[in-house]
Structure 1
Amino acid sequence: MLSGFTLVRNAINLNFPIVATVRSVLEVCDEVVVNVGKSDDATRDVVAGIDDPRVRIVDSVWDMSKGDDTLALETQRAMDACRGSWGIYIQADEVLHETGARVLKEKVAEWDRDERVEGLLVNYLHFYGGFDRVATNRRWYRREVRCIRLGKNILPFEGAQGFRVGPGLRKVRARPTDAQMFHYGWARPARDMNEKFQITQNMYPWAAERLERKRQRDTLEWIPLLRPFTGSHPAAAREWIAACAQQPPIEVAPPRFKPAHLRYYISDWIERLTGARVFEFRNYVVV
């Protein structure tokens, strides 16, 4: 049995593509567990409206004062409710491309009997300031574990970006795949990005001043190595993307090069030459 799991709160206020998120993994999962935090909008009704018997809602109340730990704890709650032996994890601002969903299902079957393999990697596209450009410098992770064995002491780690194993927090042993995850968290319209910064201020009070400056700006900060995207978006996300296009977009500020940016260009040059990303942070070990 293959489970999917995710978590969401205030999906309407924050304009998360939660319907697309869930549908993108429903294509290959026997169940999808959605941890729905108590919200200030009709998020639960939206999830229930997907109207598929494979979708199981777990109602919860999140303690937002715990920062990153909140997301890890609530991801664990969703994991614990899964009944499968493997689980595909997806965040509420992500959509898995349909070809990637099928790849993950095939790879689970291929590697299920190899106990060395604890997880499967997906490749990431991080959209920034719209749906036609992606962030590619080394501060944005290229790959992450998004399919894991369940019930094997594998735990969400640091805001649930990834996972670790056991009390010693060993890195997950994972196999690469060609599956693609589309991350839209930084691509939403201007109003939604403003709301994002407000919520983040409440979660991370130690960074409130910096986040408030971001919130008050009308643009996203320019970052090095933004590149055009000319491929196709997941079918599940297209209706949501079309709706976003009806709202004022978030603009990216004009380029403003800083000496500190030079390291990103050097790193990118090495990666293009060798395929290796220097100083890359990984939650996993490739096996």
Structure 2
Amino acid sequence: MKVSVFTFIRNGSLLGYPFIESICSALPLCDEFVIAVGDSEDDTLARIKAINSEKIVIIQTRWNEKMQDRGFVYAQQKMIAQYNCTGDWAFYLEGDEILHESDIPKIRSSMEQHLDNPEVEALAFNYLHFFGSPDWLAISPAWYRQECRIIRNTIRSWAPDGLYWVVMDKNRKGRHPKAALIGAPIYHYGHVRSIAAMHEKNQRVGKYWGHDHPLFNGYQIDAQALSPFSGRHPDIVKNWLAHEAEKSFTPNPSYQPTKRELKHRWAMKLERLFGWELSKKHFSLTKNTKN
């Protein structure tokens, strides 16, 4: 079995991504790591080269600055990297996502288990979305709790945006992949970077969705959508958390939730009452792998 991990990154240092930690967290798992590195204004490319791993394949790219429709330029960059993967499985890991060292054996075992079962087209992770600081998790249905990040590299798939895949059984009609659950989490740190780095990111990326993001004024969220984190962070990211992450955040009990957040409060009440899971998913569970 050959495993390809892939990602894309641009201005990773400038925008406060833990992208080096992300790459290094997956190197023990993979046979190759394909990275589409966009033209950057910082030392992103040099830092990736300094990892000095024979597994890393760098593809230098130019972004289409005129592509400002719903983040599709992200999908373009994602697929440049995916189309250069040569493994049996293609594992997409974003620059703010980290694998825990204790989960590497389980992830690899899941790929081996399903390698010869064509009914399993993809593998889905649980998600830990940290918000405001490394001490808090976003838990409302607004945040996807499970998502595919590994897909079989022998099927026709593409990404309509950076986050998920569409499988093309037919030339003109697509669907979400059929997936099995790995039972391991991905640690998502994109919303704990320093306020300065988050401000810089928001000002730069809004145009790719056809609009300007509002001025970032600190981490704001409904306190009922948060839960304390009591687990252990991956070892690889602890130094980044100590020096680059925001640490002063605490939930604001007087924060006035938006209409969307009030809707999610009701959704969480229904989840607790009926045992439902109402977050959005971009896959369907394969029947013989449900648990």
CA drift of 1:269 comes to: 2.8
Whether the 8 Å contact between 1:122 and 1:180 is mirrored in structure 2 is yes
The 10-residue stretch of structure 1 (60-69 or 31-40) with the greater mean CA deviation from structure 2: 60-69
Equivalence for 2:209: 204
Name the amino acid aligned to 1:164: V
Equivalence for 1:52: 53
Q: Within 2, Cα distance between the matches of 1:205 and 1:261?
A: 24
Of 153, 164, 180, which residue of structure 1 is paired with 2:166? 164
Whether the 8 Å contact between 2:134 and 2:247 is mirrored in structure 1 is no
Equivalence for 2:256: 256
Note the 1:206-221 alignment, pairs <5 A.
Answer: 206=211, 208=212, 211-212=213-214, 214-215=215-216, 217=217, 219-221=218-220
Aligned positions, number: 278
Of 77, 81, 88, which residue of structure 2 is paired with 1:78? 81
Name the amino acid aligned to 1:196: K
* Unmatched 5+ stretches in structure 1: none
CA drift of 1:205 comes to: 3.4
Percentage identity across paired residues of the two chains = 27
1:173 aligns with 2:178: yes
Q: Within 2, Cα distance between the matches of 1:62 and 1:53?
A: 26
- SS across alignment from 1:71: helix
Whether the 8 Å contact between 2:133 and 2:247 is mirrored in structure 1 is no
Q: 1:226 to 1:65 in 2, by over 3 A?
A: farther
Greater than 6 Å deviation, 4+ residue runs: none
Q: Within 2, Cα distance between the matches of 1:53 and 1:164?
A: 31
CA drift of 1:225 comes to: 1.4
CA drift of 1:271 comes to: 2.3
Whether the 8 Å contact between 2:72 and 2:208 is mirrored in structure 1 is no
Structure 2-normalised TM-score? 0.89
Q: Within 1, Cα distance between the matches of 2:261 and 2:16?
A: 31
Structure 1-normalised TM-score? 0.90
The 10-residue stretch of structure 1 (39-48 or 194-203) with the greater mean CA deviation from structure 2: 194-203
CA drift of 1:259 comes to: 5.9
* Unmatched 5+ stretches in structure 2: 287-291
1:90 aligns with 2:89: no
Note the 1:81-160 alignment, pairs <5 A.
Answer: 81-158=84-161, 160=162
Q: Within 2, Cα distance between the matches of 1:250 and 1:64?
A: 34
Q: 1:133 to 1:110 in 2, by over 3 A?
A: same
Equivalence for 1:282: 281
- SS across alignment from 1:138: coil
Q: CA RMSD in A?
A: 1.9
Q: Within 2, Cα distance between the matches of 1:194 and 1:54?
A: 33
Q: Within 2, Cα distance between the matches of 1:273 and 1:251?
A: 28
Equivalence for 2:289: none
Deviations 1:262-285 (CA, angstroms, capped at 9, x unpaired): 43233223323444223x322100
Whether the 8 Å contact between 1:189 and 1:249 is mirrored in structure 2 is no
